[in-house]
Structure 1
Amino acid sequence: MKAKILHESAGRIRVRVQQKHMTLEQADLLEYYFRKQDGIKDVQVFDRTCDVIVRYTCARCEVIAALGAFSYAKAKALDVVPDHTGRALSREYEDKIAASVLRRILCKTVVPAPMRAAIALIKSVKYIRHGISSLAQGKLEVSVLDATAITVSMLRGDFDTASSVMFLLGIGETLEEWTHKKSVDDLARTMSLHVDKVWCLVDGQEVLTPVNEVQVGDEIVVRTSNMIPLDGKVVSGEMTVNQASITGESLPVRKDAGTYVYAGTVVEEGTCVVRVDKNSGSGRYDRIVKMIEESEKLKSMSEDKASHLADKLVPYSLGGTALVYMLTGNATRALSVLMVDFSCALKLAMPLSVLSAMRESSTHHISVKGGRFLEAVSAADTIVLDKTGTLTHASPKVAKIIPFGGNNENEMLRLAACLEEHYPHSMAKAVVQEAAKRDLKHEECHSEIEYVVAHGISSMVDKQRVLIGSYHFIFEDEKCTLREEDKALFDSIPEEYSPLYLAISGELAAVICVEDPLREEAADVIDQLHALGIQNVVMMTGDNSKTANAVAAKLGIDTYYAEVLPEHKAEFVKAEHEAGRTVIMVGDGVNDSPALSESDAGIAISDGAAIAREIADITISADDLYTLVTLKKISDALMQRIDRNYRFIIGFNLGLILLGVAGVLQPATSAMLHNLSTLGISLDSMTNLISE
């Protein structure tokens, strides 16, 4: 590709692609191709001017070489562009606003006054119809106020004022619709499946297969905590499925042979074989968009409050207009009250603030399912953190394997990996990765796997019952035993490791010691959360008390609970609610799901269990915990903006009304200032809440 360098500074270069016109598709190909390149921090492509801004951390020569080697055909073959990028949506609304402004300018400068009056009369029909419809339903809403102001202006022959009011209302509606659709579009894309591989049945054997290679008619196996990656019909097995994200049902649904399952839903319990009848991605995006738009979760309490307050103020505006006319007999002063209301700005600015905050969150790799959850994060005084995979790295490593009863170390690891690879927990991944590192092949030799939440896994291998899991599961629940001669070795296992216990036929066969290193940023994140108003940082873990105490002391945790089960976490959150506290829960595993559901705002780690992400209200990046701090800052800034908007709207518009009644401002001037302030505060509400 040929390009001319326009400007560059340290880590940033702006080039102009040498072509006459760039399509939206080409702009997307160029942007997403470079986003995939190593050393590229950010890319912006401006299709109208054919300009590209690249921010990079690699060597400059590598960027120049990548630009020179780029071709649209190559990028298209790599399939780097997602189905929905948002570029076409933004262009649609940019064009709408530009066209509206251009029409307005031409109308004011070219069209004769009589024709402008006729155009205003035609445009007013829509607003008057909405106002009459509202009255017919027995409601005094903002549409009545808009219709009254427009009608009175035209009856007085002030068609320019009526036209200005309708123009600004139209711009406001377009901006609101654009911001809403953009936020929904961003949110829908962040809720993509992120399922790369599935277990596919081939000649009776389970084979791990890339999801994009699965064809219609293939059979896949889904188990407890797995996300169902493709639409299809259950062939065999039985399970309960959480499908709230698709159907809105709050309770899990039982699925067995002959029933239908949807991509994006999560298996809460059980195992099934599903025959695929739709390729990857078919209809998924559209269903998510529909779910978000219909979900009451999208409405925050502030939006509800603003909407209700706006409607409640309408009768006062109408009453004030009538009262001023009765006292002064001056229609101009009375119209000044009618031309200014609090409702437009309240109803427009608050939803825009919330939706823009959700959109801004997505740029920081934070997916928020509704405005009310941002409010909950801002109001929270207690945060509950799971340890493994949350305060610790999501990719722990196997430190050592201690075999018992004369078993072979590698054979025990091979067996453990065979069972653990079916479940997306961080410790299970560590076992599978260690087996891969040692080049240990593990064919499917077990029978159906049973997953016991927060305890472990049970299956049959060569007619022997094999168990892997926690100490509580192996020794207390399953009553497994340890040979007398192995007790000294067992007692010598270092406390700093998180152990997984493997038992065969009721006897301990091996202990897999997993290193669970703390995230480097965890202590600083907790300090910052304290500084941002979180009073009680709580850690809950299934580890023993000694390990939990050491971690809590190292990180500055206020309170910790050790050896807890899923129900204990949920009970704690419930108890905090009863004590009048607002609680947010952060976790990544199946065992965190009850507490995530119980909390005011449940936050899941993006690479954790699918069911945790499904149940959670917010999903944050797994890269580092600083996104928690960013989320808190955005939430606090949102509430401050909403409070500031309330004060400005009430103060400014009250001032306009008083100046109008006093005769200082004419109705047309009041209407212009009111609508300009509404537009201004709406545009301000669309800006980012925090600096990069």
Structure 2
Amino acid sequence: MNNNGHFNFKRALRFEISLVVLFLATFALYIGDVLPAEFEGQILGIVGFVGIVPVARSAYRSLREKKLNVDLLATIALFFSFISAEWSSMLFINIMLALARVLDLYTKRRVRTSLESLIKLKPSKARIMRGGKTLEIPLTDVRKGDLVVINLGDQIPVDGIVSEGTASVNQASLTGESVPVLRGIGSIVLSATVVVSGNIVVRAERIGAETTFERMINLIEASHDTKTRMRTSAESFSSWYIGIMLLVAIILYIVTKDTRLVLAVVLVVCADDIAIAVPLAYIVAIGTAARRGIIIKSADFLELAGKINTLVVDKTGTLTLGKLAVETASAFEGATIKQVIELSGTICARSNHPVSKAIVEYAKNAGCSCAPPESFKEVEGRGITSTSDKNEEIIIGRPEFLNERGIKFSGEVAKVVSEWVAKGSNVTIVAIDDKVIGIFALADEMRVGVASAMKTLKQTGVKEVVMLTGDNDGVAKKIADYLGIDKYYSKLLPEHKVYVLKDYLGKHDRLVAMVGDGVNDAAVLARADVGIAMGGIGSDVAIESADIVLMQDNFEKILDLRGISKNVSSIVQGNFVIWGVVNAIGLYLVFTHTIGPSGAAAYNFLTDFIPIANSLRLFRYK
């Protein structure tokens, strides 16, 4: 929060507290009959005017927007008490209203403090290397490409790449996970994380507002200003409710001519507690989620997350680690295993596809230098083609990719392919011209905790889990059976995943969440009712494409998300029940003449604490 914003808040709080003191002092002087008799009316009139100004201004702004808010009822109550010289009621109403505003500011400040505790994690200075010297400069003076020196215990001030040293880094400020991760030369490190052992030098890649941490904070702040469907409905209901209560008050006055009774009724039915408690619950919940490494772009998505009944999940990088490893390699047509590995490692060196990376790593471990080829063409998600020095066409890819190019498999090749597919392995084939010379069998490791999380999701309202994958049917079936997934789609290209998702969207009984890594499935995430990107730490695409970002590579965080969502919905619904019961009791006390206007104001203020305290319980969510 900027200094100006902080000053404005403190000024508002001081102003409201000074009003409380003024009203209390005047009330005490009036009750004690200390005010000079000749000036009593003028003094009370001035104090009453001071009290009515802020609520009347708020009511006027609301009317200009063609809405009714609780300050309209408060303005009417103050006006009637003023013209009827109900001075004690007027003063007590002003005291209660000012205290309510202080309470509102306090609760908002507490939420803001929670966010500021995150903002304070960002250091204000950085040590950089320039001209052979280490200089400490303001963080705002750091530029891209600067070499930033980070020692044990330091917070990392920029997003960058480690150029020297090794360190263990605590990323809890971003992921909610306190277990340190090892970072060495070439590793990416992020701002606001802490070096807990070792010393490193980092080349700055992102600074200021571009860093992952700053973008996360901006998303959280923006989400505070969004409205959920429930919050919008609550405001709409409140507007209608206030209109009805005004009509009731008018009728009651016409029938009874009892100003005190009308005042008491108006004060009891003020819905100021709901007006504060409903948005507060969502703001607190979003902050609670952020502390757990769950970034929610809008309170609407938080509300929907607990109601999801269909979960569509991309396999690679979500259910599995997304790091394929070669299990074995086979050679055919007189080629040797070494030749197949060296050729494939060289061709795949220019590709970023997980299969290519696994083959290159396997080749390097076998001693291949893997120099990138000059001739290279990649068909996304399917395979690679290249041309050798002898003008031979080299093809590496899925079995169907080679089939489309007219390459037929011998009986021996077909048998090996079938065996590995049946075992649930990914199969990649290597061919020169029209002859298959090699086969790689690859596997991906399952993420820890996915199986138990799937079971819990099924027990808590998710009726169907659907898996999308580009892998073969054998791989898909093996994982689906192990995890208890209801349905799977295999051999999908990225664009095909959108069409599969469309089949589930728009159906009256479906509320669909899509979970992916936010990279290869960005288009699918954007189309789902709720798009959840997992492992969004440092990923631009994940942060941009998803509605909710799980900063940590942990599928179990979805359970946290649903728990917070269900909790906030339960609390909001509970607040409406509390509000209804409190109003009913208050009206009973008014109509039985147990309390008058002053008592009604006190009753309204004291019962305001109940739904607000209920909303603040989300701070203690476990």
Please report the TM-score for the alignment, with normalisation by the length of structure 1.
0.64
Residue segments in structure 1 that go unaligned for 5+ positions in a row: 1-85, 191-211, 217-228, 231-277
Residues 1:395 and 1:488: Cα distance change in structure 2 (over 3 Å):
closer
Contact 1:348 1:682 in 2 (8 A): yes
Match of 2:512 in 1: 583
Contact 1:176 1:348 in 2 (8 A): no
Q: Distance between the aligned counterparts of 1:395 and 1:431, measured in 2?
A: 11
Contact 1:417 1:432 in 2 (8 A): yes
Match of 2:589 in 1: 659
Residues 1:288 and 1:612: Cα distance change in structure 2 (over 3 Å):
closer
Match of 1:419 among 337, 340, 350: 350
Identify which range, 293-302 or 97-106, moves more after superposition. Answer: 97-106
Match of 2:77 in 1: 149
Q: Distance between the aligned counterparts of 1:433 and 1:374, measured in 2?
A: 41
Match of 1:630 among 532, 535, 560: 560
Match of 2:230 among 274, 278, 302: 302
| Count of paired positions | 522
Write the letter of the residue equivalent to 1:131. Answer: A
- Check if 1:170 corresponds to 2:101: yes
Contact 2:349 2:357 in 1 (8 A): no
In the TM superposition, residue 528 of structure 1 has moved relative to its aligned partner by: 0.7
Match of 1:373 in 2: 301
Contact 1:164 1:672 in 2 (8 A): no
Match of 2:139 in 1: none
Q: Distance between the aligned counterparts of 2:589 and 2:369, measured in 1?
A: 82
Match of 1:280 in 2: 206
Contact 2:395 2:402 in 1 (8 A): no
Measured against aligned partners, the alpha-carbon deviations of 1:498-526 in whole angstroms (never above 9, x if no partner) come to 23445666765654433212234222111
- Check if 1:559 corresponds to 2:559: no
Contact 2:531 2:547 in 1 (8 A): yes
Match of 2:173 in 1: none
Match of 1:644 in 2: 574
In the TM superposition, residue 368 of structure 1 has moved relative to its aligned partner by: 1.4
Write the letter of the residue equivalent to 1:598. Answer: R
Q: Distance between the aligned counterparts of 1:347 and 1:329, measured in 2?
A: 30
- Check if 1:594 corresponds to 2:523: yes
Match of 1:356 among 267, 270, 284: 284
Residues 1:449 and 1:652: Cα distance change in structure 2 (over 3 Å):
farther
Q: Distance between the aligned counterparts of 2:210 and 2:464, measured in 1?
A: 39
Residues 1:658 and 1:478: Cα distance change in structure 2 (over 3 Å):
farther
Residues 1:536 and 1:162: Cα distance change in structure 2 (over 3 Å):
same
Measured against aligned partners, the alpha-carbon deviations of 1:4-52 in whole angstroms (never above 9, x if no partner) come to xxxxxxxxxxxxxxxxxxxxxxxxxxxxxxxxxxxxxxxxxxxxxxxxx
Match of 1:161 in 2: 92
1:229-308 matches, cutoff 5 A? 280-284=206-210, 298-308=226-236
Match of 1:682 among 587, 591, 612: 612
Q: Distance between the aligned counterparts of 2:533 and 2:117, measured in 1?
A: 18
Match of 2:456 in 1: 528
Query: What SS does the aligned partner of 2:462 have?
Result: coil
Identify which range, 398-407 or 627-636, moves more after superposition. Answer: 398-407
Contact 1:186 1:362 in 2 (8 A): no
Match of 1:573 in 2: 501
Q: Distance between the aligned counterparts of 1:215 and 1:460, measured in 2?
A: 38
Structure index of larger Rg? 2
Match of 1:672 in 2: 602
Match of 1:344 in 2: 272
Residues 1:118 and 1:469: Cα distance change in structure 2 (over 3 Å):
farther
Measured against aligned partners, the alpha-carbon deviations of 1:106-158 in whole angstroms (never above 9, x if no partner) come to 54676774778745533532321232344355543334223323433444324
Residues 1:485 and 1:380: Cα distance change in structure 2 (over 3 Å):
closer
Write the letter of the residue equivalent to 2:535. Answer: S
Query: What SS does the aligned partner of 1:298 have?
Result: coil
Match of 1:616 in 2: 546
Write the letter of the residue equivalent to 1:624. Answer: N
1:7-22 matches, cutoff 5 A? none
| RMSD (Å) for aligned C-alpha atoms | 4.2
Residues 1:139 and 1:94: Cα distance change in structure 2 (over 3 Å):
closer
Identify which range, 280-289 or 672-681, moves more after superposition. Answer: 280-289
Measured against aligned partners, the alpha-carbon deviations of 1:63-100 in whole angstroms (never above 9, x if no partner) come to xxxxxxxxxxxxxxxxxxxxxxx899999799679857
Query: What SS does the aligned partner of 1:398 have?
Result: strand
Match of 1:75 in 2: none
Q: Distance between the aligned counterparts of 2:513 and 2:296, measured in 1?
A: 13
Match of 2:176 in 1: none
Match of 2:193 in 1: none
Write the letter of the residue equivalent to 2:600. Answer: S
Contact 1:401 1:510 in 2 (8 A): yes
Please report the TM-score for the alignment, with normalisation by the length of structure 2.
0.71
Q: Distance between the aligned counterparts of 2:567 and 2:301, measured in 1?
A: 14
Larger relative contact order (CA 8 Å, sep ≥ 6): 2
Q: Distance between the aligned counterparts of 2:432 and 2:605, measured in 1?
A: 75
Q: Distance between the aligned counterparts of 2:377 and 2:7, measured in 1?
A: 51
Contact 2:220 2:290 in 1 (8 A): no
Write the letter of the residue equivalent to 1:603. Answer: I
Query: What SS does the aligned partner of 2:618 have?
Result: coil
Query: What SS does the aligned partner of 2:607 have?
Result: helix
Residues 1:616 and 1:589: Cα distance change in structure 2 (over 3 Å):
closer
Residue segments in structure 2 that go unaligned for 5+ positions in a row: 30-34, 36-42, 122-141, 147-158, 161-203
Q: Distance between the aligned counterparts of 1:500 and 1:297, measured in 2?
A: 49
Write the letter of the residue equivalent to 1:329. Answer: K
Q: Percent identity?
A: 23
